[in-house]
Chains A and B, each alone.
Chain A
Amino acid sequence: MNAHDGQTGSASPGALAPTFIEFENASITYGRGERAVQALAPTSLKVSEGDFVALVGPSGCGKSTILKMVGELLKPSSGHVFVSGREIGAKAIRIGMAYQNPTLLPWLNIRDNVMLPLKIVPPFRQEFRSKRKGEFRDRVDALLTQVGLAGFGEKYPFQLSGGMMQRANLCRALVHDPDLLLLDEPFGALDQFTREELWAIMQDLWLSKKLTVLLVTHDLREAAYLANRICVMSSRPGRILDDQIVDLKRPRNIDMTFQPDFVALNQRLRAMIVGARGGTGIVNHAPGTA
């Protein structure tokens, strides 16, 4: 049972749902010998299944590094990372990933771009030949419609604006029904209004699917709008300084971002990151911290 099936009430399923991602003193050191740089200090973190967690922190603190570890692109230098109850690499879960750079393939139209994961990920892979013109096509078109790209399937990436490409990128990350979605500043390069529209779309997608999301962002409003939990990180080597529960009801909307409690949350987060950037790494835990 998914805690966020109920669209109102407490936003955090943490207490009920099983742990989906677990970091056990996991650290990352890039390079060797004298040039070694510890990007991430030993970190422990638990994310429950179906949760939506945002990572914020100063630039270079290791947010993308954390995503890469969860996405099995990097192995921890020390400690362990468990995804879906096992150490990474042990069990095949489906992962979707989207970066700030949409990286659509210029030689494929939008529909074929979005379909790419179906060509690669089992069990879709086996049925790709027989279903690409039928079921899969409908599936992609439905997703495109959901993000406001209905009718753009035949277009090529260069015919789309940056915002539209980013919508397609999001579709590509979701088309294979991932259990886990990793987002690294996906809306970072977009204008304010497109971004806010995509927040709403992202929230709807998350509410309608059973998936866990890790979102890296520099936009504190974005983090507070979308996430159930916000992890604030220190500057390098990154540590998790604070873990805020965002206790706002869903579905959230833009008006809520101007409410006093939302603004207060934002100010608290901001103060913490400013403190972290100062290099002291010492933060006054603001009152009300969960």
Chain B
Amino acid sequence: MERVVEVIREKGASTALIIGFFVFWELFCLMANISDILLPRPTQIIAALIKFWPAIWPHTYQTLYTTLVGFSIGVVIGLLLGILIGSSKLAYDTAYPLLVGFSSIPKVAVVPIFVLWYGAGTVPAILTAMIICIFPIVVNVATGIATVEPELEDVMKTLKASKLDILWNVSLPRSMPYFFAALKVAITLAFVGSVVAETVASNRGIGNMMMIASSSFNVPLVFAGLFVLAGLGVALYVLFSLIEYRVTGWAHRKTDLAAT
């Protein structure tokens, strides 16, 4: 019972904050008499969203597609690299500096290179989304794998467990909470990557749509694009949170008990 009250209070507060934010925005624009060329009101944005939906949908689909494909490839590569780096000291020492170097390059800067190689369009967006989400996954998975208790490793080694046995039975499950924490960061980053690439070099996608809308001063449509992106980001974040809870519930059980 207490738990239910707790949930209502938590969720209630955040819902109220979100609603309050939009109400404030609406009222602020009305009172200060701000033109919709500068900052449209939420109601105008929703109206634009409905009005232009048939035009927005293909762009939404395109962005979702590039983001998810890039993200999936990024997750696979990140997971494999993370396992490699986390389970071998040599790989850690050799590959880590390179990885840090790569990750500190602003990802926007690589878009022109991808365009040079593959031409404008879908591929650069996918690659940018992919490259931007690799790093957090590698770092988290490597940390989870490298921090297995030495005593546990000793126990496994005296059982003559192979590296693969240890990886499969101990290191990988153990790194899952780290992995999912990284996934939630990575999915939002992947959107950043694909939208940036679309903005710079594509004729499809939400990013491209926003560019065109802004050059024709259709500001409500620009903001409608933002709303779509926020909605997609939140939806995927929630999806991964749910999967995380199912897969790595063991890491949360303690706090669960404390809350009941």
A interface residue numbers (CB < 8 A to B): 68, 71-73, 92, 95-99, 101, 103, 105-107, 116-117, 119-121, 156, 158, 172-173, 176, 182
Could you give 12 example pairs across A and B, Cβ below 8 Å?
A71-B158, A72-B158, A73-B154, A98-B155, A99-B154, A101-B149, A103-B151, A107-B248, A156-B250, A156-B253, A172-B155, A176-B159
Contacts of A92 in B (CB 8 A): 160
**What would 12 more interface pairs be, CB under 8 Å, given A105-B170, A106-B251?**
A71-B158, A73-B157, A73-B158, A103-B151, A105-B169, A107-B248, A107-B251, A117-B159, A120-B159, A120-B160, A120-B169, A121-B159
Q: What CA separation (Å) do A111 and B169 show in the bound complex?
A: 15
Contact B158 A97 (CB under 8 A): yes
Contact B254 A71 (CB under 8 A): no
CB closest chain-A residue, reference B247: A107
Contact A97 B160 (CB under 8 A): no
CB closest chain-A residue, reference B251: A106
Asked if B30 is an interface residue, CB under 8 A from chain A, the answer is no
Contacts of B152 in A (CB 8 A): 103, 105
Q: Which 6 A-B pairs have the closest CB atoms?
A: A103-B152, A107-B250, A99-B151, A71-B158, A95-B158, A97-B158
Contact B158 A103 (CB under 8 A): no
How far in angstroms is the closest Cβ of chain B from A72?
7
How far in angstroms is the closest Cβ of chain A from B179?
13
Asked if B36 is an interface residue, CB under 8 A from chain A, the answer is no
Contacts of A107 in B (CB 8 A): 173-174, 248, 250-251
CB closest chain-A residue, reference B250: A107
Contacts of A73 in B (CB 8 A): 154, 157-158
Q: What CA separation (Å) do A82 and B155 show in the bound complex?
A: 20
How far in angstroms is the closest Cβ of chain B from A178?
9
Q: What CA separation (Å) do A117 and B169 show in the bound complex?
A: 11
Contact B161 A120 (CB under 8 A): yes
Asked if B6 is an interface residue, CB under 8 A from chain A, the answer is no
How far in angstroms is the closest Cβ of chain A from B232?
31
Asked if B156 is an interface residue, CB under 8 A from chain A, the answer is yes
Contacts of B169 in A (CB 8 A): 105, 116, 119-120
Q: What CA separation (Å) do A99 and B174 show in the bound complex?
A: 19
Contacts of B251 in A (CB 8 A): 106-107
Contacts of B165 in A (CB 8 A): 119-120
CB closest chain-A residue, reference B249: A107
Contact B158 A158 (CB under 8 A): no
Contact B156 A106 (CB under 8 A): no
CB closest chain-A residue, reference B148: A103
Q: What CA separation (Å) do A96 and B257 show in the bound complex?
A: 33
Q: What CA separation (Å) do A158 and B253 show in the bound complex?
A: 8
Q: What CA separation (Å) do A105 and B156 show in the bound complex?
A: 12
CB closest chain-A residue, reference B253: A158
Contact A120 B156 (CB under 8 A): yes
Contacts of A117 in B (CB 8 A): 159
Q: What CA separation (Å) do A121 and B165 show in the bound complex?
A: 10
Contact A71 B154 (CB under 8 A): yes
